[in-house]
Chains A and B, each alone.
Chain A
Amino acid sequence: MMMISKLFAVNTKLGGRQRLTMSVFSFVLPLLVWSLVSYVPFIWHPKVEIHSAGDVSYFKQGLLIDREIFDREVETAISESKSVPEGKPANPVYLPAPHEVATALYTAFTTEPKRRSEKWLHESLWDSIQVIFWGFVISSLFGVPLGILAGTYDVFAKLFEPFIEFFRYLPAPAFGALAVAVLGIYDAPKIAIIFIGTFFQQVLVVSNTTRKLDPALLEAAMTLGAKKLTLLFRVVVPGIITHLYKDLRLLLGWAWTYLIVAELIGTSSGITWFITQQARYKNFDNVFAAIIIIGIIGLTTDLVLAAIGRKIFPWEKGLAKA
């Protein structure tokens, strides 16, 4: 009882051990639900996998059939005293079991592409990472400076922000056809979609972060003789850099969410091509594996960036406390 009331105390941090347990649970719980649905025959399992067809003409071994149809055929077989078909409950082909996906996580990398012109999974992934990288870098190259300017000087805020506020409601994929017309069918239009999806949010997020800088720091710097550009580069930029870094990590995740749409534009490529291709072959274990790989890449990148952040901003720890 004591334990429970402690766990749910408001505004209190858990101990290191409990936090780790909870973090493990956050992955274990969805996995558990997935396993239950996959391995416990009476949960869901709307299909039947045929073992022996009996006398039903259209049943074949290995066929997945709706349970209702199977039950009906069994009844008919019994009433007409024919050989009864056998089978076991199964899930639809689009929900592979965890162990199948786990195997696919490995085999997807080792399976040779079906055609010579097609790419291995790691090559597709590398294409996707490059599209994300360039889309995000180009967006940041413009978005971060504009955001800082808008956050620091009201004149830029009023000049940029109203239009950007308007533009950010336009869905990036809507520009797909236009991007292809202007930039061709290869990587350029995909990078453009990532850019459009990220840039406008980025300017607003960065300007908002910049505005949160404690104005007393600027005043202190002015009384110490800092002026204009030195204020910008020696106070504003270092003053917001830790928050800016966090924003960029968040926005990088945002960029990934535009990836699938972006890669469908022009010639389908990268991880999206892999996913659609595997779905076409009904290799849904590979589809799930690919989706999970995206998640793993995203989470790993973020953890690595967070670790780098702690290294290069040694004062950040104190800010978090304050």
Chain B
Amino acid sequence: MDQLKLPSYLEQSDAVRDRFERMKKRPVTLQVKNLNKEFDTPQGKVTALKNINFETYKREFVCVIGPSGCGKSTLIRILAGLETQSSGEVLLDGEAVSGPGPDRGMVFQGYTLFPWLSVKDNVMFGLEMSGHSKAASEEQAFQWIDLVGLGKFKNAYPHQLSGGMKQRVAIARALANQPRILLMDEPFGALDAQTRAKMQSYLHEIWKNIDITILFITHDLDEAVFLADRVLVLKANPGEVQEVIEVPVPHPRSPDQILQPEFLATRKRLEELIHPPEADTGINEDHLNMVRMVRVDNEVESVF
């Protein structure tokens, strides 16, 4: 990629710049202020997240990316209320949140559909929890199931569905509660490459058509650039915000854009942030201690 002349990832076309300007005038949905998280381990205190600050605007799509151990899962679990922060604040539409609740939908990597419930009943679960009658929940559930294109499977049980279909049910189930933000923790991580690409397009379609803000965790750089308005890059030990990148790739997104200069430039920047060049780290732990172990009279002397 080095021989390619790429523009700076900071360069934005007029349309893109205009879109970001309008986006930043929207109300803030989620605000994270001075968030810290420390764990007590037998080896002593470990800081998982240190002084995290960011906000997402209404109907924005934000991806969170970072090397393993940067605390991105801890971050989303704190936002969902499944873990508590050591200090700092999480504000949803200006109000502090504590504990899990239906105003923040969550989609997990492991599907977490209820195996004893049909697709329909899985989607109805949250609606019934928030006090809707059975009939009303059923009607709404059907709409959401149709939205994710699983109308034919509404009476199927989760074990009868493929991974991609399961995750679409999980998305429908989270959206049925009409949360203000949808938190997604590496939702497509367990899917094969083809299904994942398809799911990314589905998710973008859904996002465009309904009133939802999405915070999406991934470790896949292409996925982040393809999906996000902005990418929050974390670094590890301790988990801190390294940079917030405004993705200069114009909307609407399509898989063809993956070879466009803006896309490649952004991807390259992410690559630099997440996998810094070896020289910078000084030590090279990952180097293989290679000795030639092929006999000289081997039929294939060299693979080149």
Residues of A whose CB lies within 8 Å of any CB of B are 214, 216-217, 219-227, 230, 234-235, 238-239, 241-242, 313-315, 317-319, 321-322
B108 at interface by CB-CB < 8 Å: yes
User: What A residues does B158 contact at CB under 8 A?
Assistant: 315, 318
Asked whether B114 lies within 8 Å of A216 as measured between CB atoms, the reply is no
How far in angstroms is the closest Cβ of chain A from B119?
12
A-B CB contact pairs (8 Å), 15 listed: A216-B110, A216-B112, A219-B106, A219-B108, A221-B129, A222-B99, A223-B101, A223-B104, A223-B174, A224-B102, A224-B105, A225-B102, A225-B177, A230-B129, A318-B115
How far in angstroms is the closest Cβ of chain A from B109?
9
Asked whether A219 lies within 8 Å of B173 as measured between CB atoms, the reply is no
Of A219, A239, A314, the most chain B CB neighbours within 10 A belong to A219
Chain B residue at smallest Cβ distance from A220: B112
| A219-B82 contact in complex given A224-B174, A318-B157, C-beta closer than 8 Å | yes
A264 to B99, CA, bound (A): 57
User: What A residues does B304 contact at CB under 8 A?
Assistant: none
A43 to B177, CA, bound (A): 76
Interface range for B: 20 to 34
Contact with A317, one of B114, B130, B159 (Cβ below 8 angstroms) = B159
Asked whether B116 lies within 8 Å of A238 as measured between CB atoms, the reply is yes
Question: B37-54: which residues lie under 8 A (CB-CB) from chain A?
Answer: none
B188 at interface by CB-CB < 8 Å: no
B164 at interface by CB-CB < 8 Å: no
User: What A residues does B216 contact at CB under 8 A?
Assistant: none
Asked whether A223 lies within 8 Å of B159 as measured between CB atoms, the reply is no
Question: B173-191: which residues lie under 8 A (CB-CB) from chain A?
Answer: 173-174, 177, 183
How far in angstroms is the closest Cβ of chain B from A159?
25
User: What B residues does A235 contact at CB under 8 A?
Assistant: 114
Contact with A224, one of B81, B82, B115, B177 (Cβ below 8 angstroms) = B177
Contact with A315, one of B110, B157, B174 (Cβ below 8 angstroms) = B157
Contact with B82, one of A223, A227, A230 (Cβ below 8 angstroms) = A223
Chain B residue at smallest Cβ distance from A317: B159
Contact with B160, one of A241, A318, A319 (Cβ below 8 angstroms) = A318
A9 to B116, CA, bound (A): 33
B100 at interface by CB-CB < 8 Å: yes
B80 at interface by CB-CB < 8 Å: yes
B226 at interface by CB-CB < 8 Å: no
A239 to B125, CA, bound (A): 14
Asked whether B116 lies within 8 Å of A315 as measured between CB atoms, the reply is yes
| A223-B115 contact in complex given A314-B157, A318-B157, A322-B159, C-beta closer than 8 Å | no
User: What A residues does B102 contact at CB under 8 A?
Assistant: 223-225
| A224-B129 contact in complex given A313-B116, A319-B115, C-beta closer than 8 Å | yes
How far in angstroms is the closest Cβ of chain B from A38?
49
A286 to B177, CA, bound (A): 66
Chain A residue at smallest Cβ distance from B170: A220
How far in angstroms is the closest Cβ of chain A from B182?
10
Asked whether A223 lies within 8 Å of B129 as measured between CB atoms, the reply is no
A194 to B13, CA, bound (A): 80
Against A, the Cβ 8 Å flags (1 = close, 0 = not) of B110-126 are: 10101111000000011
Asked whether B100 lies within 8 Å of A219 as measured between CB atoms, the reply is yes
A318 to B129, CA, bound (A): 26
How far in angstroms is the closest Cβ of chain A from B219?
19
User: What A residues does B159 contact at CB under 8 A?
Assistant: 315, 317-319, 321-322
A319 to B157, CA, bound (A): 11
How far in angstroms is the closest Cβ of chain A from B29?
17
Of A224, A235, A241, A319, the most chain B CB neighbours within 10 A belong to A224
Asked whether A220 lies within 8 Å of B106 as measured between CB atoms, the reply is yes
User: What B residues does A321 contact at CB under 8 A?
Assistant: 159
User: What A residues does B126 contact at CB under 8 A?
Assistant: 224-225
Asked whether A224 lies within 8 Å of B125 as measured between CB atoms, the reply is yes
A317 to B101, CA, bound (A): 32
Of A220, A222, A313, the most chain B CB neighbours within 10 A belong to A220
A238 to B114, CA, bound (A): 9
Question: B76-107: which residues lie under 8 A (CB-CB) from chain A?
Answer: 80-82, 99-102, 104-106
Asked whether A222 lies within 8 Å of B157 as measured between CB atoms, the reply is no
Asked whether A223 lies within 8 Å of B100 as measured between CB atoms, the reply is yes
Contact with A217, one of B100, B105, B114 (Cβ below 8 angstroms) = B114
User: What B residues does A217 contact at CB under 8 A?
Assistant: 112, 114
| A221-B108 contact in complex given A318-B159, A321-B159, C-beta closer than 8 Å | no
User: What A residues does B174 contact at CB under 8 A?
Assistant: 223-224
How far in angstroms is the closest Cβ of chain A from B221?
26
User: What A residues does B110 contact at CB under 8 A?
Assistant: 216
Chain A residue at smallest Cβ distance from B125: A224
Asked whether B112 lies within 8 Å of A222 as measured between CB atoms, the reply is no
A216 to B190, CA, bound (A): 16
A221 to B115, CA, bound (A): 13
Contact with A220, one of B81, B108, B130, B160 (Cβ below 8 angstroms) = B108
Chain A residue at smallest Cβ distance from B105: A223
A221 to B101, CA, bound (A): 9
A117 to B73, CA, bound (A): 74
How far in angstroms is the closest Cβ of chain A from B230?
24
A322 to B110, CA, bound (A): 13
